[in-house]
Amino acid sequence: MFLVLGCLSSQPQVLHGKVVRVVDGDTLYVKLDSGEVVKVRLVGIDAPELEPELMRPGEYRGVHNITCLVKYAHIAKEFLANVTLGREVTLEFDSKQGRKDKYGRLLAYIYVNGTDVNELILEKGLARVFYEKRFDKMGEYLRIEEEARKKKLGLWSCN
């Protein structure tokens, strides 16, 4: 019985690799130590879209200025690139989310030198908490988002 249970949990909860491309403020490509390149969606956060036509009014609580949101989409992408591109990262999977989203992207927390990059993006006001599904750090991330909103940081300055 112990062997069977061991086999069920054979997928690693943590992967290591190097960021090779940043798509936007919450999506990037990582070349894993195995050599495989994977598309990764940062779990628990949602940065604005780079194209205005992909934005939905009211999507970001209290923010309706799409032009301003798109400006912060580009800032979020640049920030993510500055923090991760070309750097060694750790991908950590959430126990409440699946390993992949409906588009086949890995869903993960990204760490650079032990720092939670998803959290950093929220602290700077460059994303909102994405809570279509519950996730392990939801309470913590909601608190961080609320602080950024109160301080009118990043996209929260758009209202």
- Residue positions annotated with a catalytic role: 41, 49, 105
Structure-token match 């800032």, residue found: 75
Question: CA 80, 113, 115, 100: dihedral to nearest 10 degrees?
Answer: 70
Task: Report how far residue 124's alpha carbon sits from residue 151's, in angstroms, rounded to the nearest whole number.
Answer: 10
Structure-token match 């940043």, residue found: 22
Question: CA 58, 61, 65, 67: dihedral to nearest 10 degrees?
Answer: -90
Task: Report how far residue 119's alpha carbon sits from residue 111's, in angstroms, rounded to the nearest whole number.
Answer: 10
